[in-house]
Structure 1
Amino acid sequence: MATVGDGPRAGKAKDFDIVATYYRLLAEDPDLTMPVAAIEALIELLVQSRAVTIYETLDLVKTQSDYLKSRVPNSISLSAGTDLFQRYIISSLKPTSTGSFEAVRQHLLSNGRLFVSRAKAGRERIAAYGRHFVRDGSVVLTHGGSRVVGALLAKAAEASASGGNVRFKVIYVMNDARSSESKTVVSALRAKGVPVATISEGAVGYAMGKVNLVIVGAEGVVENGGVISRLGTYQIALLAKAAGKPFYVAAESHKFVRLYPLGQYDLGIDQEVIDFRTEDEKDPAQEEGKSTGTVPKPEEKSEGSPSSPAQPKQAVDAVDFTPPALVSALLTETGALTPSAVSEELISVWY
């Protein structure tokens, strides 16, 4: 039987690397979300699959989904897509289905592609609906590179440029670890005529007094209505709550994930954001650089300066958990949802 890269056996499928396919899809389409990329990768797997029974198909999809999640450091977002697609297959590939298995499989593939197209269209629906939350004269605070938030603000800017009466400003929280992404978001908004002020993460509390609402994106929306998003979202939500400012989360429904964390450390991923060391302990990254000969030259230090200044640990892909009590509403393609409504949405999909 053929194998999939270094991964599990793929049954009667051709040679197929689902991890490479997943990353290729993300690279080819910068606007693609991780759950949708995972679903498209699974569809490509089924296209090349030689499975001839329902059991083989289900086993193949489950095995490859688990393998993909094991090879991606932060698999929370993509797991929403893989789990949803597996549920879709179970409901589609029933033993009572009429016709040959090949006809059923082709029906599954065509409907799977339709599902992907609808998931992509969800972003524009959220933007069209969510722009009404941006009122005339308001100041919106946001951070990160959420595509749906960018589409929402762009839609609000287009309404203003086309003769509408909505004029708003944006305060954008810069991320030093993702400076290029931050600059891209700011430039895109300014190009549409939106006045944007940039602040550091340490200035969020200071700026909150001028903010009317906060809008952020999400990598995943969990069962209790809480949100898993870019590191720093939680502290922004805390400050917004303390200042009495509404905190909105814009997220597509395919990011709803079956996970019930009770706190920051129940996400099931090892992020290594907090790393305790003494002066005698070396940074593993620096030690690895020494072994490969890629350690940068130390900067010249003046007399009396510390020999090894402490540097903050930058977790580029780290996320945090924002509890539902801090979320005012979730802006989805079906409208605004309260955090408590998320569990009902998941029940309607899974049961």
Structure 2
Amino acid sequence: MPGLTTTEANTSASASPVVSFDICETYTSLLKNEELSAPLAAILALSKLIETSDAGTMLELVKALNDGAGALKASTFNPISLNAGCELFIAFVTLLPHDSASFSDLKLELVRQGQKYAAEALTYRDKIANLALGFIKDDSVILTHSYSRVVMKTLLRAHERKRISVYVTEARPRGLGLRTYEELTAAGIPCTVVLDSAVSYVMDKVDFVLVGSEAVVESGGLINAVGSNQIAIIAQAANIPFYALAESYKFHRLFPLSQYDLPTHTSNILSFPLSPGGNVVPPPSTGVIKTAHEKSSNADYIRRMTPEQIACNPGVDYTRPDLITLVFSDVGSLTPEGVSQYVVGMFAG
């Protein structure tokens, strides 16, 4: 298949040399760079696919790119952010005006433009941080969720010029909020970890909520680490601004109406475990952990969710546009309606 496996054929009867290109392996290798997010890694992987592809027409090239994007999406349990990058790059390839002398020259130009865009996109977090800085007042108390590179960039930039304090949710089950806590504390920013179930408890002490994004969809809504939606609902009830930070390559041509429209949702998510006979499956004993103290006392056991129970829970959720105050992006500070208009225009050429 063009692009996924590129073969240099020889018309002679002798065995021909074969050069294989594994787009999933290339994508995984690119993600080892901490600065590269999933959409940018996808764009660079697709650029490499063009470079190695033997496609001789635009129709063949677009098919190879779609096949490559399909292989990438199938290789991950959460393809939302990755898919945003794939859609953006494929739309760019099909809409790019060109006057190349040959199709080979056109492919080289597409590769060059893809790499150029990825390099430029690495500066977007700085642009967003500078833009959001104007909305952060001195002595602000900020609530953030999980871990986000663009949020970290913004908070560290704000700390250089202003006094801020940060509450961060634990963000179970991965606990990425603890990474945020460690990095902010190391930078000298006062920070406290909040239980996911204690968000409403702390909301009255917060000036605004600041979260990152997996994707911003065509409706102007937000897809982010699970728990973002309930934080937004609580913030709106408390009349607290809810700000999202998103690089424009995370703008996604997707229009979910509920949590169950997300590509990550499967029938296994939040399902009730039943045996083949229809009976309720009893809980495994691994869900209870005894400490040394508990073994010698009548204290309650410390209970933990089992891996099977965690696997039945969503990793991301959808936040409706009416819950979002503003989206800060490298293309400006946008209302959810403004995001919707921008996404439509972006893919219309």
Q: What range is the shorter-chain TM-score in?
A: 0.7 to 0.9
Q: Choose the corresponding residue for 2:169, options 170, 173, 188.
A: 173
CA deviation after TM superposition for structure 1 residue 3, in Å? 8.6
Q: For 1:294-342, what per-residue CA distance to the aligned partner results, in whole angstroms no more than 9, with x for missing partners?
A: x8997597899999x7837335871000000100000001221000012
Match of 2:57 in 1: 53
Aligned-partner residue type, residue 132 of structure 1: G
Q: Choose the corresponding residue for 1:332, options 306, 329, 333.
A: 329
How many Å separate the matches in 2 of 1:171 and 1:239? 15
Q: Choose the corresponding residue for 1:226, options 207, 221, 225.
A: 221
How many Å separate the matches in 2 of 1:3 and 1:339? 37
How many Å separate the matches in 2 of 1:83 and 1:185? 30
Match of 1:19 in 2: 24
Structure 2 counterparts to residues 104-123 of structure 1, below 5 A: 104-123=106-125
Structure 2 counterparts to residues 252-291 of structure 1, below 5 A: 252-270=247-265, 272-277=268-273, 280-281=280-281
TM-score (norm 1): 0.85
Q: For 1:136-189, what per-residue CA distance to the aligned partner results, in whole angstroms no more than 9, with x for missing partners?
A: 111000011110001000110122xxxxxx21110111124223x333221221
Alpha-carbon contact 1:11-1:60 (below 8 Å) kept = no
Is 1:206 paired with 2:201? yes
CA deviation after TM superposition for structure 1 residue 111, in Å? 1.1
Structure 2 counterparts to residues 103-252 of structure 1, below 5 A: 103-159=105-161, 166-179=162-175, 181-252=176-247
Alpha-carbon contact 2:200-2:234 (below 8 Å) kept = yes
Aligned residues: 328
Q: Choose the corresponding residue for 1:341, options 326, 329, 338.
A: 338
RMSD, aligned α-carbons: 2.9
More displaced stretch, 310-319 vs 205-214: 310-319
Aligned-partner residue type, residue 209 of structure 2: V
CA deviation after TM superposition for structure 1 residue 344, in Å? 1.3
For residue 314 of structure 1, give the secondary structure of its aligned residue in structure 2.
helix
How many Å separate the matches in 1 of 2:26 and 2:138? 44
How many Å separate the matches in 1 of 2:52 and 2:259? 40
1:115/1:3 Cα in 2 relative to 1: closer, same or farther (>3 Å)? closer
CA deviation after TM superposition for structure 1 residue 249, in Å? 0.2
CA deviation after TM superposition for structure 1 residue 219, in Å? 0.2
Unaligned runs of 5+ in 2: 9-17
CA deviation after TM superposition for structure 1 residue 17, in Å? 1.4
Give the fraction of aligned pairs with identical amino acids, expressed as a percent: 35
Is 1:321 paired with 2:304? no
How many Å separate the matches in 2 of 1:99 and 1:261? 42
Alpha-carbon contact 2:139-2:163 (below 8 Å) kept = yes
Match of 2:14 in 1: none
Match of 2:92 in 1: 88
How many Å separate the matches in 2 of 1:122 and 1:114? 13
Match of 2:12 in 1: none
1:233/1:11 Cα in 2 relative to 1: closer, same or farther (>3 Å)? farther
Unaligned runs of 5+ in 1: 160-165, 288-294
1:45/1:222 Cα in 2 relative to 1: closer, same or farther (>3 Å)? same
How many Å separate the matches in 1 of 2:210 and 2:289? 41
1:155/1:107 Cα in 2 relative to 1: closer, same or farther (>3 Å)? same
Alpha-carbon contact 1:10-1:64 (below 8 Å) kept = no
TM-score (norm 2): 0.85
1:15/1:240 Cα in 2 relative to 1: closer, same or farther (>3 Å)? same
Aligned-partner residue type, residue 321 of structure 1: Y
More displaced stretch, 119-128 vs 310-319: 310-319
1:304/1:183 Cα in 2 relative to 1: closer, same or farther (>3 Å)? closer
